[in-house]
Amino acid sequence: MKYSAEFRDPALARGLLAAIAETVAGYRGKMTLMEVCGTHTMAIYQHGIRALLPEGIRLISGPGCPVCVTPVGYVDHAIALARLPGTIVATFGDMVRVPGSSSTLLREKALGADVRIVYSPLDALTIAEHNRQQTVVFLGVGFETTAPTVAGSILEARRRGLDNYLVLAAHKTMPTPMAALASDPELQVDGYLCPAHVSAVIGANAYLPLAKKHRVPCVVTGFEPLDVLQGVLMLARQVVTGEARVENQYSRYVKPDGNPRARAILDEVFAPCDARWRGIGEISGSGLKIRTAFAYFDAARQLCVTVEEPVEHGGCLCGEILKGKVRPKECPLFRTVCTPEDPVGACMVSSEGTCAAEYKYGC
């Protein structure tokens, strides 16, 4: 607990809560603050932060869980690839249980497909090196946090001369969806707790256009309870005074310009593209595609498969949950039909999903 206990000090937490209460005391109405990071979502549930905040603040979860925002069509594509003879699909663990239109990667594995869980794209490279007669497809999902490592794996595959390593890329980028939600007339977001890991790569300055154009305060915030409370306090102060600035609560890790090395690797391998988000739909310029120079490593270009027409589960409200419009408990399937053991939607599968967090910790 060394180095994290300092960020869980109850006396300091009480002080921050008192400052938050004092800040919003004279504020008319209720302010809505959205966290856009699955790790924030888990921290907020795990430490019961929502229940500690004054009436005048409503915390909602946004599209920050990488597995959750991956659309069902991508899962179907991965399943179609897993069914190809001579193909090994390598993926982070959460993805194997995300329901596609008619199956999951876990079910395909049980039926004989070679689907392997890895902890890093470099593990997938090792599998490719040891299985030169087969094609290894790594499922590249997630935000700028994971995308540099996937880009690095492609550069490393080229360096090692691995011609049997491919990536099915569906990376998403911030802060474009935050701008989309900020202009949603049904959703009044008064401030954003900006994602910490993503910001370590893209930098706090990446939110300047969002704050300026949409007049929405942004605070890059860490994951410990005191980080979150301080981030809420900084946002609340801006909302009350009518400001819309970018502040960096997590300055011990996040720099104004992020991580130049990681961004350079990203830029070398990936190019911006339009991307489909579960529940939100297509957002212009919110994804990353593999550049033509690296097309040899692009599973979408190299492997031709028939992918079924995507079908979302009729009763699942993941899309609305990812936009912060409903809470998991408002979904009629929550805890009844949909559980972590038998998830109906991605938000119940992922360890960073809002439904999984509410199931585990309640509110």
For ligand SF4, give the closer residue by CB, 52 or 98: 98
Sheet of strand 57-61: strand arrangement: 57-61, 31-35, 191-194, 218-220, 246-248
- Minimal distance, residue 315 CB to ligand SF4, in Å: 6
Distances in whole angstroms, Cα of residue 148 to Cα of each of 28, 69, 121, 265, 270 = 43, 19, 10, 6, 9
Burial of 361 (0-12, 13-18, 19+ CB in 10 A): middle
- Minimal distance, residue 151 CB to ligand SF4, in Å: 30
For ligand SF4, give the closer residue by CB, 236 or 331: 331
For ligand SF4, give the closer residue by CB, 232 or 321: 321
- Minimal distance, residue 41 CB to ligand SF4, in Å: 13
- Minimal distance, residue 48 CB to ligand SF4, in Å: 20
For ligand SF4, give the closer residue by CB, 36 or 226: 36
The span from the CA of 37 to the CA of 65, in Å, is 6
- Minimal distance, residue 327 CB to ligand SF4, in Å: 10
For ligand SF4, give the closer residue by CB, 72 or 80: 72
Sites of contact with ligand SF4 (CB under 6 A):
316-318, 321, 328, 331, 333-334, 338, 343-345, 347-348, 355
Q: How far is CA 161 from the centre of its chain?
A: 32
- Read off the tokens for 268: 């070398």
159 and 153 Cβ atoms separated by less than 8 Å: no
Residue with CB nearest ligand SF4?
345
- Minimal distance, residue 269 CB to ligand SF4, in Å: 32
For ligand SF4, give the closer residue by CB, 55 or 341: 341
The span from the CA of 196 to the CA of 216, in Å, is 18
Burial of 178 (0-12, 13-18, 19+ CB in 10 A): buried
| Tally of CB atoms within 10 A around 269 | 24
